[in-house]
Amino acid sequence: MNPLFEALWYILPAYFANASPVIFKGKTPMDFGKEFIDGKRLLGDGKTWRGFFGGLLTGIFISIIQYHITPNFYGSFAVALKLGFALSLGALIGDLIGSFVKRRVGMERGYPAVGLDQWGFLIAALIFAYPIKTLSTGQVLFLLAVTPFIHWFANVFAYKMGWKSVPW
């Protein structure tokens, strides 16, 4: 496999885990409406339990499909599954950390935080997946470079589909 394509193939569950909650979006917010000591919401209404678990299951489902297409890339089904779980969980937790930071600096739910929105989930996914399977430094740099464009494209697509009210 081409190393750049390999990097994209590796990270795919994280992309799906990050993008799919917009389809699953639920009602109950993960912070249950609670505020932090600064009087602002802990995470905000944009982070729901349904979105979180929908994203987690979608990412794992993608890794199962990936294993059946490229079993040699993973070596075993267990590795593919563990990697899909770690990448998805990392992406979702990275997104929650991003929302926590956004609320602390006074950004309303849905406000675009350039950098945080595009790299937060990616970096957390890479850290969570690191113990299971690693990429080269060049591959990580490649993902850091292309992910903002893919993130932008995916959000415009979701907006055009009517899934979200803003194209970011």
Please report, as ranges, the residues that interact with ligand CTP according to CB under 6 A: 21-22, 25-26, 44, 46-48, 51-52, 95, 99, 102, 109-111, 164
Q: Which is nearer to ligand CTP, 82 or 103 (CB)?
A: 103
- C-beta of 32: minimal distance to ligand CTP in Å? 13
Quick one: how far is CA 65 from the chain centroid? Answer: 18
- C-beta of 132: minimal distance to ligand CTP in Å? 23
- C-beta of 68: minimal distance to K ion in Å? 30
From the list ligand CTP, K ion, none, pick the one residue 110 interacts with, judged by a Cβ distance below 5 to 8 Å according to partner type: ligand CTP
Quick one: how far is CA 47 from the chain centroid? Answer: 12
Could you say whether residue 31 binds K ion (CB under 5 A)?
Answer: no
Q: Say how far apart CA 163 and CA 160 lie, in whole Å.
A: 8
Binding to K ion in span 93-112, by CB under 5 A: 95
Q: Say how far apart CA 140 and CA 54 lie, in whole Å.
A: 26
Q: Which is nearer to ligand CTP, 99 or 139 (CB)?
A: 99
Q: Say how far apart CA 122 and CA 110 lie, in whole Å.
A: 19
Contact yes or no for 117/151 (Cβ under 8 A): yes
Q: Say how far apart CA 153 and CA 151 lie, in whole Å.
A: 5
* Residue corresponding to tokens 């945080």: 116
Query: Looking at 48, 55, 60, 117, which residue binds K ion (CB under 5 A)?
Result: 117
Q: What is the DSSP letter of 41?
A: B
From the list K ion, ligand CTP, none, pick the one residue 125 interacts with, judged by a Cβ distance below 5 to 8 Å according to partner type: none
Q: Which is nearer to ligand CTP, 25 or 40 (CB)?
A: 25
Segment interacting with K ion (CB under 5 A) among 35-43, 50-58, 90-98, 138-146: 90-98
Quick one: how far is CA 25 from the chain centroid? Answer: 14
* Residue corresponding to tokens 């994203």: 55
